[in-house]
Amino acid sequence: MIKFLRTNKIAMWILTVLRVYLGIQWTLDGWAKLTMQGGFRADSVLQMAISKPVTDPHGALAFPWYDAFLKTVTSDGKSAAAFHAFSFAVSWGELLVGLGLVFGTLTLGAAFFGLVMNFSYLGSGIVSVNPTYIFIEALILIGGYNSAKIGLDYWVTPKLRAWLPFLQNDIELK
């Protein structure tokens, strides 16, 4: 399966369709947050995640490390600066991940950071479309360079690999 996703031309087209679809979704979500009346505020979501963390069926914290992270970064939900930073990061993060996926630029980075956001949303108790996005992002990451051949990475990746030798690997760019 991995070899198919990384080398097959049919997989390249399937991954491109999935990448563009997901990119459009991320772009629309990010744009909506950036242009909404009054601006997007993550305060209520963060307050809910802090006051009522996700638990397992036995009542134990499902993500104790994530709950500790949120409490520490937001000073137990009292830091307006942290809420502002999260609001900014979510809005712009969604838009930039979306544009990266739509145009196929820095595709694997965009898919990775989309994955980080999706798992963060799940850790906060928001299920929504996150499992679907995680599945698609995982396929894109497994597909590697084949996920981005039809996109700007066709030109960007060889340039980056020439400038940054540690990016050289065994995947052919043909």
Q: Mean pLDDT throughout 40-57? A: 90
∠14-2-108 over CA atoms, to 5°? 65
pTM of the model: 0.88
Confidence band (pLDDT; 50, 70, 90) for 172? low
Question: Measured between alpha carbons, how far is residue 50 from residues 13, 81, 161 in Å?
Answer: 42, 16, 42
Per-residue pLDDT tens digits for 57-100:
998 999 999 999 999 999 988 889 999 999 999 999 999 999 99
Residue 165, class by beta-carbon neighbours within 10 Å (0-12 exposed, 13-18 middle, 19+ buried)? exposed
pLDDT of residue 75: 92
Confidence band (pLDDT; 50, 70, 90) for 155? very high
Question: Measured between alpha carbons, how far is residue 4 from residues 69, 78, 99, 137, 148 in Å?
Answer: 38, 49, 26, 16, 15
